[in-house]
Amino acid sequence: MSQRRRRSIPDPRRSPARPVHQRDHHELPTSVETSAGGLVLSGLAESVRGDGSVDLSKMYVALIGRLDRRGRLLWSIPKGHIEEPEDAHTTAEREVWEETGVHGKVFSELGTIDYWFVSEGRRIHKTVHHHLLRIVDGQLNDEDPEVTEVAWLPVSHLVEKLAYADERKLARQALDRLPDLARAEAKAGRRTLR
């Protein structure tokens, strides 16, 4: 009798594995979102010294600040959703203008950030394409209701100002490339607004 009882109890180590394609009814639905934005820069050519070295404290970048749930002002790169029929460059230019009041023109790719988060009962996989933009015109303003504050910041302080680690990583990549880009702007005779 004891043998029968032992055999009638299923051994969890021997139960068949659930197929990978079978969805758990407790799993959240998933959405995919794609955004674009970037760093709009002023003073690229003007940051180049006579000897060809570059003074990053003479180059400026526009950042946006938003209050988090705790009331802290967090600084980040302007960005937003890609809308049909836009491409990533067009969206970056539009979002920078909407969130900062400054018109910029994309002149280089910066990088892509990819992450997951949960919002309103959905798992969201978000990809954000970042660019470097040259200022064309405009004045900083914080008229966008999603933005609390907008500021020009010397590029030399960019990494320490950004609130998010993935954006700080992009900022470090930008700092590595900006001296060469600034020298190219100066050589081409481009002058930018301050």
The verdict on residue 16 lying in a domain is no
* Domain around 82: 28-187
Interatomic CA distance for residues 64 and 144, integer angstroms = 10
The verdict on residue 18 lying in a domain is no
Distance of alpha carbon 114 from the chain centroid = 9
The verdict on residue 5 lying in a domain is no
Domain count, the chain: 1
The secondary element (H helix, E strand) that includes residue 151 is: strand 149-154
Q: Which residues contact 7 (CB under 8 A, 6 or more apart)?
A: none
The verdict on residue 124 lying in a domain is yes
List per-residue pLDDT tens for the chain, 194 residues long. 444 333 334 444 344 444 434 444 358 999 999 999 999 999 999 999 999 999 999 999 999 999 999 999 999 999 999 999 999 999 999 999 999 999 999 999 999 999 998 989 999 999 999 999 999 999 999 888 989 999 999 999 999 999 999 999 999 999 999 999 999 999 999 887 65
Three-state DSSP at 162 gives: strand
The verdict on residue 4 lying in a domain is no
pTM: 0.82
The verdict on residue 109 lying in a domain is yes
Interatomic CA distance for residues 49 and 175, integer angstroms = 17
The CATH number of residue 58's host domain is 3.90.79.10
Pure H helices in the chain: 2-8, 88-100, 158-161, 165-187
